[in-house]
Each structure stands twice: as C-alpha cells, then as structure tokens.
Amino acid sequence: MSDDFGQEQAIRKLGPGKLVIASHNAGKVREIGELLMSYGIETVSAGALDLPEPDETGTTFIANAELKALQAADLSGLPALADDSGLCVDALNGDPGIFSARWAGLDKDFRLAMQTVWDAVEAKGPDAGHDAHFVCALALAWPDGHVEAFEGRVDGTLIWPPRGDKGFGYDPMFQPLGHEISFGEMEPEKKHAMSHRADAFAKLVAAVF
C-alpha cells in the first residue's frame, strides 16, 4: 500500500525473541520452527500455550492466517505467526483449497483426505487432468493488532498411490514440477528450499528481518 507520495508504508520488523506459532498442527509447527531457527527466534506453539483454535471464517488463505495470528498475539501478549495453507486442484475448481484440513475430518485423517481428493478427480473423467498447486499464506501479528501477510505457491501434479512418509498432510500425493518424487518422499531440507511455505517464508524474511 502506498501513501500520497507514492512511497510504500514501512513494514514492521521482527526482532529476536519469543514468537508464537499459531498452529496446533505438529507438522506445521516443526516446519516453521526449522525455517526460523537461524534468525534468533524462540518458537512456542499455540498448542503448548493451550490457546484455542479459532473458527477459520475467512474466505481466503490470507484472511484465515491473519485471524489465527491476531488471536494468538492478543491472547499470548507475544508476536504470533500463523500459516494457512492448502491444496488446490484444477479439476476440482480449486478445492479443497481453504478447506483442505476439513477434508481430513475431525480426526485429521489425511489418508482419508487424499483418497477423497483422488476419488473426486477420478469422478471427473479421464480428461480432468491432475494439475494442482499448494498455497501458503503467512501472517505475522503483534499484540497491538498490527499484522503483515505474505503468500507463496508451488505448482505440481497429483500422483496415486501416495508416496513417502516425510512431510505431512497431502504431501505424499503431490509431486512438484521439475521433480520425480513427491513432497512425502523429499528430505526436509530440499522441501524447505522450494515449497509453497518456503516461498511465503522467503517473502516474510526479506520484509521483516
């Protein structure tokens, strides 16, 4: 956003210290913590602080990330970083999208979610195609209500059956473009270098550190 003189408003910087990862997803908490390790940031999860999970009522990835980060910052009194991410399948008009976690049900059964996605694509017929992409929105909020948001994306294709036991969520059924293995087969260091979360995180780092 720019002011009347065409100058972009300054983005608030984040200094070393404690930061809440506003997620109860152990995989996301671990992955974000690893990405932040070299910046002097001590992370603590919303789950470890017994913070409630807010209703994700936003209609975009960024809106949901912002509401999660703002609630965690308000309740903890600390800066908070929230992620909202999901798998978007072209043949399903972008679904499951912002509802990616909900497709896994109350038990967070992503084997069921992957099967549901694949079955839905197969039901579209042989011409549906398997193109898909992951989106990640990161929102960084402070207790005073200030928030910064960044979005990343990685394109790829769906594969079946799922492969690999690394990563989490839909990773085993997603093969990024230019690679012969799924995110579920990929070593964390390699995934961190090119994933949707890495893309969003690179934008966040360039802005706030």
Q: What is the mean pLDDT of residues 106-129?
A: 96
- End-to-end Cα, the chain, rounded Å: 19
DSSP string, 138-204: EEEE-TTS-EEEEEEEEEEEE-SS---SSS-TTGGGEEETT-SS-TTTS-HHHHHHHSHHHHHHHHH
| 55: number of Cβ within 10 Å | 10
Q: Is 12 annotated as a binding residue?
A: no
Residue 3 has pLDDT above 80, yes or no: no
Q: Is 168 annotated as a binding residue?
A: yes
Provide the CATH number for the domain formed by 17-208 in this structure: 3.90.950.10
Looking at the DSSP bridge assignments, the partners of residue 83 are: 138
As a whole-number percent, the residues of the chain with pLDDT over 70 amount to 96
Q: Is 171 annotated as a binding residue?
A: yes
Q: What is the β-pairing status of strands 131-141 and 147-158?
A: antiparallel
Q: Which residues are catalytic?
A: 84
Q: What is the mean pLDDT of residues 157-168?
A: 95
Tens digits of residue pLDDT in 174-192? 999 999 999 999 998 899 8
Stated pTM of the model: 0.89
- CA dist 100 and 107 (Å) reads 13
Give pLDDT, residue 8. 53
- CA dist 67 and 82 (Å) reads 9
- CA dist 58 and 106 (Å) reads 19
**DSSP-assigned letter for residue 95:** -
Query: For the chain, what are the domain ranges?
Result: 17-208
